[in-house]
Chain A
Amino acid sequence: MTNPTDTGPGGNTTETTPPKKATSSGNVKLSLPYPNDVFQYGPDESKHVIKGRKGVTLSRDDADKVRKLAELSGVQLLEEEAE
């Protein structure tokens, strides 16, 4: 049996959905599960922001940085390959 872990609040608030396969652009779309939640990951309030399910499309490198900041901040992200 798998033992629960204490990796964070609720056990998993920082995990992300594995990217879906078989799309091509190489970019990643990051969004938030709750439609009205906001995650600001940089200094510019209008630019460096993820709003709910609308999300934002980033290069893989940028997505990695945002993912790390989200983990640090206890933010749960949704992630999928951008078309």
Chain B
Amino acid sequence: MVNFTPRYSPDFVLTGPAQLWVQPWVFGTPAALPADTLELGGLWTSPWRAIGATKEGVTGRFSRTVQNITIEEQMTPVDQKTTAAQFTFTAQLSEDTLETIRDAYGGGTITTVAPGSGTIGKKKLVIGDELSYIAVGFETFASPRAGVTDGDPWRRLVVPKVSSAAEVETPYRRAESQRLYPVTFTSLVPISDVEIWEYNADAL
């Protein structure tokens, strides 16, 4: 028996959750990442808003559809060219608020009336006829690095313009399940507009 172990780095094998943040997309004002000095898990200030609890965490999906370029003389493709790509984040939102419903239904307007003397506070959501665009921020922890000792290494990205379109089926059960609002955020920007950043080394 040959004694052979492939090379590997167990420190780079990661598990763990991710946090999604959302904010409205505003023409001419692209959403930005928080300051590099913000620690992992820190608060992304307004207008960012955390999407809150999820049933099974966040799932990121990237798919690229390719066209094989073939020739008669070769059985395998000689090249592949991208014909389409899709980048999405999905989650099952579990905080039952009007903000959650708006996120899941793809947009709308919320009117809030604060409580006053003898009057209750109230809130109204009008679901938008058309999709509204939002920006999505993503944060998770990155692989440990020897050069990072001032905090936990983070990985962050912003998709500056996404839409939220999905079939939103919400169970209203006594005890079987919490109310859920599935969301699918689909990137609407060129792939090259999405930059994935990692905290890689401490400042000198």
Contact = CB atoms under 8 A, between A and B. Distances in A.
Interface of A: 1-4, 9-13, 15-18, 33-43, 53, 69-70, 72-79
A24 to B, nearest CB: 23
B116 A73 contact: no
B99 A41 contact: no
A2 B39 contact: yes
Contact of B46 (A3, A4, A9, A15): A15
15 contacts: A1-B41, A1-B141, A10-B51, A15-B43, A15-B46, A17-B45, A36-B109, A38-B109, A39-B111, A40-B113, A41-B114, A42-B114, A74-B112, A76-B46, A76-B47
B114 A9 contact: no
B109 A11 contact: no
B115 interface: yes
Contacts, number: 98
B115 A72 contact: yes
Q: Which 9 A-B pairs have the closest CB atoms?
A: A33-B47, A2-B41, A10-B52, A69-B114, A11-B50, A38-B111, A9-B97, A10-B50, A36-B109
Nearest to B111: A38
If over half of A's interface residues share one DSSP class (helix, strand or loop), that class is named, otherwise mixed; here it is loop
Contacts of A73: 112-115, 121, 123
A31 to B, nearest CB: 9
Interface residues of B, number: 33
Contacts of B23: 33
Contacts of A75: 112, 114
Contacts of A39: 111-112, 114
Nearest to B27: A35
Contacts of A34: 24, 109-110
Nearest to A9: B97
